[in-house]
Structure 1
Amino acid sequence: MSFGNRLATASAPSATRRRLVLLVDDSRAQRAMLAVHLTRAGYEVAEADCGDTALAFCRTRRPDVILSDWVMRGMSGPELCQQLREDRDGRYIYFLLLTSKDEPADVAFGLESGADDFLTKPTSAAELLARLRAGERILRLQDEARSVNARLSETLAALRSAQVAMDRDLDEARRLQQGLIGERHASFGDFTVSNLLRPAGHVGGDLTGSFAINARRFGVFAIDVSGHGVAAALLTARLATQFSASLDQNAALFINEFGLYESRSPAVLARYLNHLMLADLRVDTYFTMVYAVVDQLTGEVRMVQAGHPHPMVQRADGSVEQIGDGGLPVGVIEGAEYDEISLVLAPGDRLLIASDGIWDAADASGRMLGVEGLGAILQTNRATQGLGLVEAMVWSVLAYSGGKQVDDISALLIERRAAPEAGAAQDQTEKA
């Protein structure tokens, strides 16, 4: 075996495909000599007699390596390299400059032009192929990086597609969850109930609602499941069935000895739901709740507060008071006891039950809204009623927190219509 053959065998590129080397030189003899060495080493070779021809070739086929003379007619080797480096859309080309220049300033200029390496004329086959093997390692890393990037792009595309589908499903789930609260505004005699539900994400763990018990009484509930997102939303959907508008499914209702619907006492219902969570559902979560039964004739409200933020009563004269002692959340301790709270809503009074997404809203300094802030909102919006009040409350809370909502926001507002003033009542009597 000749020396040339041994060198060619040892120097063949390791990639499965043959690397394409473009020779750029205005000397046909120089190109022919280099082409022989490269072909024997296993490279595919293409030739160009000037920089313009080389650029035209690169527009149709991208070489792996360009071996260019420095001094050529028209465009020089460094100028060719600069133009190629300006094209950042194509695959990286390893660029070798052939030159008789060996001054440090010349070398620096060539590198600044974008060249990867130099070969000094006259060039030996051994040195040429050694430099190409060094370039081969860089090109192999480039190939691996492109392969990884391609796989990442495919994965990201798949993730985007999955995210789009998930967002679509979550949007539908949000609409369904909003439907769980039924009517946002309901009337029961002289009483009105307004509901607000604003999840922090697509879906949330808060739930509010109301339902008729019989011709005299109605029930209201506010629930906040621990955690956020889909898991919390699924539990709220399960709990919504316990307060269903369908009387046969509502856990709060039973038929008394006269065949009429009545409500279980709020404390009894809380104990039942606590047992349901711990014994039947067996989930690693809990929820806070306020459940109240309202008598439309007397205005009496009997409620249970199970770990939920304190209800707030605003009297007809504008004064605000906090109700309740807190209580244990539902689903924490088996056999937990719950106390009932009793109060009377006189004409013109209203009762607000807000979730901790409102109470715990914080300003830039970290100070939470709390009872003072919520009381101030009620005082400021004293003349606003129904959905207008709960919507104004949301705007006030978001303004306080700088537009940031980190938790689900929900609220339930019970209002008793104010008694007509004496003059208005007399006018109505005279007209009658």
Structure 2
Amino acid sequence: MGTIRRVLLPCLFLLVSALPSAQTPEPLQIILGQAAVPLYGPWKFTVGDSPVDPKTGNPLWAEPAFDDSQWETVDLKPKAGSFDPMAGLSGYVPGWTAKGHKGYWGYAWYRIRVQVNAHPGERLALSGPEGVDDVYQVFANGTLLGSFGSFPGGGRDPIVYNAQPRIFALPAANDADAGTRVLAFRVWMMPVTLREDPDAGGMHSPPLLGDYNAVGARYQLAWLELVRSYGSLPILAALYLLLAVMASSLVLFDPRDVTYRWLAAVFLVMAMADAEQCLTSWTQLVSGTLGLVAHHVIFDPLILGGWAIVWWTWFRLRQPAWMPRAIAALTLLYALSEALGRDLFFTAIPASVGGAFHSATVYIRLLFLMLLVFLAVRGIQQQKSDGWLALPALLLVGIARFQLELAILHVRTHWFPFGMQVSLGMIAHLLLIAVIFILLIRRVLLSVRRQRQLALDVKQAQEVQQVILPEHRIVLHGFEIESEYRPALEVGGDFFQIIPHASDDSLLIVAGDVAGKGLKAGMLVALLVGAIRSTAELDPEPAAILAALNRRLLGRGDARATCLALRIRRDGAVVLANAGHLPPYLNGVPVEIEGSLPLGLVENLESSMLKFQLSPSDRLLLVSDGVPEATDLQGKLFGFDRVLELVRTQPTAEKIADAAQTFGQEDDISVISVTRVTVAERTEQPTLAGIHTEQ
């Protein structure tokens, strides 16, 4: 504040004399100390562009000797209480469209003659107007001082950026000029600005002329005001990004709920939109045209369409089934209408066509507003509390999409508490975030409750599966049987049953692997185990068992299973039937049997059949594909060679299972070892878990 007070304390004397001659207007006389004066005018103004001096290549309208007496006269002094209808900034002066040039875009010129009585050696400077449509070049006595924006020349249109403060050093005046300077601004406005601002065109605030230090202080203050006015945007961008991360983490918590994915996507787009607006407002890394395309053609349609999908999935709506496709089509139509309606392609598309598409965007936004209200009403019908909470927020979000139309009616949609810009759209999104936060907490609590119930269901399924599995080691009718079962998840898809038949002391062993893992596979295992036991009571032959299991799986979608069934008589005679399962190993050698299709593929399954003999001390080993398909951290398979080595060297099923699991378990692992032993006499029939005795 000390610097500003120091530079503003000197007196300003502004003497404006009458214009005695139309040909040679008297200059505006300014006596300067260390101060700066806003150049309110009167300015001379005309639309169009200057012819170029063929000798110097400079525009004639910038020359101090040019006669501008026939030009219009404009005043850049703002009226009390005036504000920018789009950005909400105070001190706003309507542009040329409000002064008889409605619908005009392109070049225009401002000229003013000033006489500056400065102290010897004092440096003077000129600051560009803080509000201007859209870019400009500034001349002093015909010399180009600089520009805001890029003017490539050669008939190409200038490159436009959002208005930013600029300062230009004035060269020292010649003695012959007696301190008189002719300042000229060559302004260019692109046609899209006509759609953006109801009073567009040229300068909306006066340039500042004075001591270099004083103008520099105002220049720095203008930058601080610009940064502060958009200071909420990076905060909001960070908030949206945080919400996107949070929603993404909830996807891991409940992968089945697609709402979290859509929420994460919408918040990410909103973060990108605010970050883009920061770049276009504070830097020249993004041109104004590119910023318009990103904001209005890409981000706005995606955000509106994304919110519609979020609420469609949030309320778990199913009817009408075509609604998601309609939202996608409406989003694409909105983007196309914005691209054409904002005259971004003005060199290729007539203005009348652009106007028609601009009007179409209004109706599309109305459709989106009605769609959001429809979704909220359906949400009230489906989930009363969620719908009532969402309704006011969705209404405000829809209304905020009409900020441009409200600005045309000069309804204020931007405010500056503590110098920071707050818009109607920002308020709408903050309210929506508050609603989303409340609903997310409620939804997460419900998800936790469902997850607990699901965990309980899985635990109960695991307990049931453990009940139907045989003991790890049993001895029946001269056969010693060992088994190991290691599910990849809490509930596995491998199954096996050992069923002795009391009438002839034969032994039925059925082993299989259901496609998939988890609770679904566990439910199929329970179905197949029940089918094995019920079928074995009627017909214990292996072929009959596989045929019955095949019938159980047919017509159940993608339910598939590989299975092996063998019946071993007391004398060691074995009948083996196989349906796509790995063949067993006899004394360390794979049993050669023809391949066959898994269960559940065809109606009349023909399983592979084989008969062979088990002699005393012979060992038969059954393994599931979880053993050879074990994979280490480098992605290397355990493989059949290692399996073959294991069955030849390892004496127990437990050690074989341990070796595969240690290597890197990927699928359920089950190993069954059957060894024929000699018994002196028949012992009492045991009744064990997983053992079913047939009479």
Q: Is 1:306–2:579 an aligned residue pair?
A: yes
**Counterpart among 548, 551, 556 of residue 275 in structure 1:** 551
Assess, with a 3 A threshold, how the Cα gap between structure 1 residues 284 and 105 changes in structure 2: closer, same or farther: same
In the TM superposition, what whole-angstrom CA distance separates every residue of 1:85-138 from its partner, at most 9, and x where no partner exists?
xxxxxxxxxxxxxxxx857399769979x9769xxxxxxxx9x95556963334
Q: Is 1:410–2:684 an aligned residue pair?
A: no
Instruction: Give the TM-score taking structure 2 as reference length.
Output: 0.37
Aligned to 2:32: none
Q: Distance in 2 between matches of 1:418 and 1:104?
A: 101
Which structure has the greater CA radius of gyration? 2
Q: Distance in 2 between matches of 1:228 and 1:165?
A: 19
Give 5+ residue unaligned stretches, structure 1.
13-100, 118-125, 255-262, 383-388, 421-432
Assess, with a 3 A threshold, how the Cα gap between structure 1 residues 129 and 356 changes in structure 2: closer, same or farther: closer
Q: Distance in 2 between matches of 1:331 and 1:115?
A: 64
Aligned to 1:252: 536
Give 5+ residue unaligned stretches, structure 2.
1-78, 89-216, 234-411, 681-695
Q: Is 1:242–2:531 an aligned residue pair?
A: yes
Assess, with a 3 A threshold, how the Cα gap between structure 1 residues 390 and 149 changes in structure 2: closer, same or farther: farther
Between 1:148-157 and 1:303-312, the stretch displaced more is 148-157
Assess, with a 3 A threshold, how the Cα gap between structure 1 residues 116 and 328 changes in structure 2: closer, same or farther: closer
In the TM superposition, what whole-angstrom CA distance separates every residue of 1:25-51 from its partner, at most 9, and x where no partner exists?
xxxxxxxxxxxxxxxxxxxxxxxxxxx
Aligned to 2:157: none
**Counterpart among 555, 562, 573 of residue 288 in structure 1:** 562
Percentage of matched positions with identical amino acids: 23
**Counterpart among 459, 465, 487 of residue 199 in structure 1:** 487
Q: Is 1:144–2:432 an aligned residue pair?
A: yes
Q: Is 1:390–2:506 an aligned residue pair?
A: no
Aligned to 1:30: none
Question: By how many angstroms is 1:194 displaced?
Answer: 2.3
Q: Is 1:347–2:607 an aligned residue pair?
A: no
Question: By how many angstroms is 1:223 displaced?
Answer: 1.6
Q: Distance in 1 between matches of 2:427 and 2:418?
A: 10
Assess, with a 3 A threshold, how the Cα gap between structure 1 residues 322 and 134 changes in structure 2: closer, same or farther: same
Higher relative contact order (CA 8 A, sep 6+): 1
Q: Distance in 2 between matches of 1:102 and 1:116?
A: 23
Assess, with a 3 A threshold, how the Cα gap between structure 1 residues 103 and 288 changes in structure 2: closer, same or farther: same
Q: Distance in 1 between matches of 2:672 and 2:658?
A: 16
Are the aligned partners of 1:178 and 1:197 in contact in 2 as well (CA < 8 Å)?
Answer: no
In the TM superposition, what whole-angstrom CA distance separates every residue of 1:296-347 from its partner, at most 9, and x where no partner exists?
2x22221111101121122xxxx43344223221221122222321222222
Are the aligned partners of 2:586 and 2:621 in contact in 1 as well (CA < 8 Å)?
Answer: yes
Assess, with a 3 A threshold, how the Cα gap between structure 1 residues 273 and 116 changes in structure 2: closer, same or farther: closer
**Counterpart among 481, 496, 511 of residue 222 in structure 1:** 511
Q: Distance in 1 between matches of 2:626 and 2:642?
A: 13
In the TM superposition, what whole-angstrom CA distance separates every residue of 1:187-218 from its partner, at most 9, and x where no partner exists?
11321222333222222222112011125211
Q: Distance in 1 between matches of 2:653 and 2:540?
A: 29
Q: Distance in 2 between matches of 1:332 and 1:110?
A: 70
Q: Secondary structure at the match of 2:627?
A: helix
Q: Secondary structure at the match of 1:356?
A: coil
Q: Secondary structure at the match of 1:358?
A: coil
Are the aligned partners of 1:196 and 1:208 in contact in 2 as well (CA < 8 Å)?
Answer: no
Matched pairs, number: 290
Amino acid at match of 1:295: R
Q: Secondary structure at the match of 1:165?
A: helix
Question: By how many angstroms is 1:178 displaced?
Answer: 1.5
Instruction: Give the TM-score taking structure 1 as reference length.
Output: 0.58
Aligned residue runs from structure 1 range 177-196, under 5 A: 177-196=465-484
Are the aligned partners of 1:195 and 1:208 in contact in 2 as well (CA < 8 Å)?
Answer: no
Are the aligned partners of 1:313 and 1:323 in contact in 2 as well (CA < 8 Å)?
Answer: no
**Counterpart among 424, 428, 442 of residue 154 in structure 1:** 442
Assess, with a 3 A threshold, how the Cα gap between structure 1 residues 392 and 418 changes in structure 2: closer, same or farther: farther
Q: Secondary structure at the match of 2:499?
A: strand
Question: By how many angstroms is 1:237 displaced?
Answer: 0.8
In the TM superposition, what whole-angstrom CA distance separates every residue of 1:234-276 from its partner, at most 9, and x where no partner exists?
22111111233xxxx3x1244xxxxxxxx54322332333234
Question: By how many angstroms is 1:174 displaced?
Answer: 0.6
Are the aligned partners of 2:225 and 2:419 in contact in 1 as well (CA < 8 Å)?
Answer: no
Q: Distance in 2 between matches of 1:181 and 1:407?
A: 18
Assess, with a 3 A threshold, how the Cα gap between structure 1 residues 206 and 106 changes in structure 2: closer, same or farther: same
Amino acid at match of 1:163: Q
Question: By how many angstroms is 1:167 displaced?
Answer: 0.8
Assess, with a 3 A threshold, how the Cα gap between structure 1 residues 285 and 107 changes in structure 2: closer, same or farther: same
**Counterpart among 413, 416, 421 of residue 135 in structure 1:** 421
Aligned to 2:542: 266
Q: Is 1:169–2:457 an aligned residue pair?
A: yes
Question: By how many angstroms is 1:161 displaced?
Answer: 2.2
Question: By how many angstroms is 1:170 displaced?
Answer: 0.5
Q: Distance in 2 between matches of 1:133 and 1:111?
A: 10
Between 1:340-349 and 1:213-222, the stretch displaced more is 340-349
Q: Secondary structure at the match of 2:480?
A: strand
Q: Secondary structure at the match of 1:209?
A: strand
Amino acid at match of 2:519: V
In the TM superposition, what whole-angstrom CA distance separates every residue of 1:262-298 from its partner, at most 9, and x where no partner exists?
x5432233233323433xx6553221111111122x2
Q: Distance in 2 between matches of 1:390 and 1:183?
A: 13
Aligned to 2:599: 330
Are the aligned partners of 2:542 and 2:566 in contact in 1 as well (CA < 8 Å)?
Answer: yes
What is the root-mean-square deviation in Å for CA atoms of aligned residues?
A: 3.8
Q: Secondary structure at the match of 1:341?
A: strand
**Counterpart among 625, 641, 644 of residue 356 in structure 1:** 625
Amino acid at match of 2:567: V
Q: Distance in 2 between matches of 1:129 and 1:232?
A: 60
